[in-house]
Amino acid sequence: MNSQEIRYFKEQLEEKLKNCSNVFILGHKSPDFDSIGSCIGLYTITSRYKKSYIIVDDEPSIIESGVKRIIDENKGKYSFIKKAEFDALKNKNSLIIIADTNKKNMICIGDEIEDFSSVMIIDHHEEDDNSIVTNDILNSVQVSSACEVTTRLLSSFKIKYSKDVANYLLAGISLDTKRFKRNTSAKTHDVAEKLIENGADIDYVNNLFLEEFESFCRISNLIINGTIIKKYSDDNLAPIQVSFTLNRNNKKAIYLKEDYAKSADKMLKFYGIDAAFALGYVDDKTIHISARSTKKVNVGKIMKEVYGGGNAQSAGGRVVSDDIDSIEEKLMNSISLGISDDIEVMDSPPIIKVKQIKKEKNR
C-alpha cells in the first residue's frame, strides 16, 4: 500500500464526508483490538465533518474484556450504538465505513449493506465471493492491520489525536502482528513510532493484553473445574447436548457475571453444545446463571421457570441462595420446558465430564 493509494482514498473519503448526512463505522462481529481501534481512529476523522456512530451489536457480556474496557472507558466520548439504533438513524445519504473485514457475513448489518450507495472499506484481509462490492476500498494483505492503515489515514488528514486513540491503535497493531513478530514491515514500525510519539504507552497496551489473558484463565478454570454434559433424546443418533458449568471443586468461588456468560458461550462455540448453562456466585450470597443455546433449545423458557428470563438463545437469572446444588437440580429438571415436544427427555441421561488434566503426583 503506497502513499499515493492512501492519499487517493483520503480524497475520496473527504469528498464523501462533505456530501453525506451521517456516518456509521463498524468492524467485524466479536470485535478485537484491531477492529475497535480502527473504528475509533476512523471516528476521530469522520466526527470532524459529520455526526458519526460506531456500531457494536455484540452482547456486552461476551465481548472480550480488553475490548469491553475500551468501549466502557469511552461511552461518553464516542457514540456507540446497536444495530437497532442504526436502523432508526440510517438514511439513503448515510456513509458506511467498514474496518478490519470486507465480508458481508462478518458484519452485523449483513446483506443490508447493499442498500447503501456510499460504502468504504479499510482492511487487510483477502477478498472472496462474500466480499462487499465497492470501489472505495483500501485493502492489502501485505499490511499488518486495519489500525496501521487507519493511522496512516489520520496522518494524511493531518489530524491530531489523543494519547488514548494512539493506545487503541497500537493495541490493534500489536495484536495482529503478535507483538511485531509477523506481518510486520518497515512501515508498521514507522506507524508504531508515530503512535508512540503521539503518547501511546506500551504499559497500557500490555495491560490490555494481560486483562484478556486473565479473563481467559478465569473462564478456562470455571469450565475445567466442573462442566458436565447431559444428552437428551429418544434418538441416539442426534441427541441434544446440554452443558452445566459450575466450579464443583469450589462451589462458593466468586466470578464476574460476564465470566458465566462467556463460559456458556465458549461451550456452544467449542464443544458443539446445543444449550449451555453456567452458574455460580457473583458475591457471597447471589447466584448468577447464564444460558446460551442454538436454535434447538429455548433457554428463555427454561430460565423463566428458574429465577430469570431472556430470549430463546440468550437468557439469564439471579437468585439469593446458599444451596447451589438445588438451583442446578431445578435447572436440570426444567430442561424439558425448552425442548420441543417431539423430543423426549431421557430418564437417566449419560453424563460426560469435560476432560481435566490430572495433577502430577510426584513433583
- Nearest approach, Cβ of residue 126 and Mn ion (Å): 12
Q: Which is nearer to Mn ion, 64 or 100 (CB)?
A: 100
Bridge partner list, 290: 278, 316
Using CB under 5 A as the binding rule, whether residue 176 contacts Mn ion is answered as yes
Torsion of CA 285, 317, 294, 125, to 10 degrees: -80
Q: Which is nearer to Mn ion, 47 or 145 (CB)?
A: 145
Q: Which of 34, 148, 259, 328 binds Mn ion (CB under 5 A)?
A: 34
Using CB under 5 A as the binding rule, whether residue 148 contacts Mn ion is answered as no
Cα distance between residue 40 and residue 333, in whole Å: 46
Using CB under 5 A as the binding rule, whether residue 100 contacts Mn ion is answered as yes
Cα distance between residue 144 and residue 146, in whole Å: 7
- Nearest approach, Cβ of residue 123 and Mn ion (Å): 8
- Nearest approach, Cβ of residue 144 and Mn ion (Å): 8
**# binding residues, Mn ion (CB under 5 A):** 4
Q: Which is nearer to Mn ion, 102 or 118 (CB)?
A: 102
Stretch that binds Mn ion, among 39-47, 76-84, 137-145, 155-163 (CB under 5 A): 137-145
- Nearest approach, Cβ of residue 175 and Mn ion (Å): 7
Cell 458461550 locates to: 265
Using CB under 5 A as the binding rule, whether residue 64 contacts Mn ion is answered as no
Q: How many CB atoms lie within 10 A of CB 51?
A: 12
DSSP string, 112-173: GGGG-SEEEEEE-S---TTBPP-S-EEE-TTSS-HHHHHHHHHHHTT----HHHHHHHHHHH
Q: Which is nearer to Mn ion, 179 or 353 (CB)?
A: 179
- Nearest approach, Cβ of residue 215 and Mn ion (Å): 20
- Nearest approach, Cβ of residue 100 and Mn ion (Å): 4
Stretch that binds Mn ion, among 3-11, 34-42, 192-200, 291-299 (CB under 5 A): 34-42
Cα distance between residue 268 and residue 277, in whole Å: 10
DSSP string, 160-198: ---HHHHHHHHHHHHHHTTTTTSS--HHHHHHHHHHHHT
DSSP string, 81-108: E-HHHHHHH--TT-EEEEES--BGGGST
Cα distance between residue 47 and residue 53, in whole Å: 8
Site string for Mn ion, 256-295 (x = CB under 5 A): ----------------------------------------
Using CB under 5 A as the binding rule, whether residue 123 contacts Mn ion is answered as no
**Interface residue list for Mn ion (CB under 5 A):** 34, 100, 145, 176
